[in-house]
Amino acid sequence: ELTPADILAVNMQGEPLSEGKPSAETGLHTQLYRRDANIGAVLHTHSPTVVLLSQIWQDDSLSITGWELQKAFAGETTHEGTVTFPIFPNDQDIDRLSAQVEDHMQQHGQGHAYLIRGHGVYTWGKDIAECYRHLEAIEHLLGYQLELLKIRQP
Ligand SMILES: [Zn+2]
């Protein structure tokens, strides 16, 4: 639904290339584009499923295994693998948060996506189609996790 008028181009430092004010979270996008030249698209949403699950999930990461839909992520070829989503605390200081994300990726690998607690999800791909596929998979897979938590409640 976006039109060119909704898009503001920025450089890799997040500075606008034309009139306008970039999103407060631009630094989280540019961190990904700077670190990996194969990333051609980054999507961020405030998906209710992700926001809710990230808020009640106690650990600082969420790993899933055994789901066919894991194969939606680029390079994942079997449900027998494990896909891990780190969960970072929300932070209004985007420079600090993006540095934390970068540090985590250097230590643990880039992965496919990360969550920000009580806020949303970032995911990326080689192009917008792959990125959107990842986003849709996250929506389903984390939706399953949320439903499992409800079912398993005593
Ligand atoms: Zn946001």
**Six-digit token string for 137:** 């998979």
Q: How far is CA 140 from CA 46, 58, 88, 100, in A?
A: 14, 20, 20, 27
Rounded distance from Cα 147 to ligand 1 centre (Å): 24
Distance 115 CA to ligand 1 centre (A): 10
Ligand 1 center from residue 95 Cα (angstroms): 14
Cβ pair 83, 63 in contact under 8 A: yes
What CATH topology corresponds to 41-152? L-fuculose-1-phosphate Aldolase (3.40.225)
Torsion, Cα 108 121 36 75, to 10 degrees, reads 70
Give me ligand 1 centre to Cα 46, in Å.
Answer: 6
Ligand 1 centroid – CA 52 distance (Å): 14
Q: How far apart are the first and last CA of the chain?
A: 43
pLDDT tens digit string along 27-60?
A: 999 999 999 999 999 999 999 999 999 999 999 9
Quick one: pLDDT at residue 95? 96
pLDDT of residue 93: 97
The ranges of the chain with pLDDT < 70 are 154
CA atoms within 13 A on the CB side of 64: 25
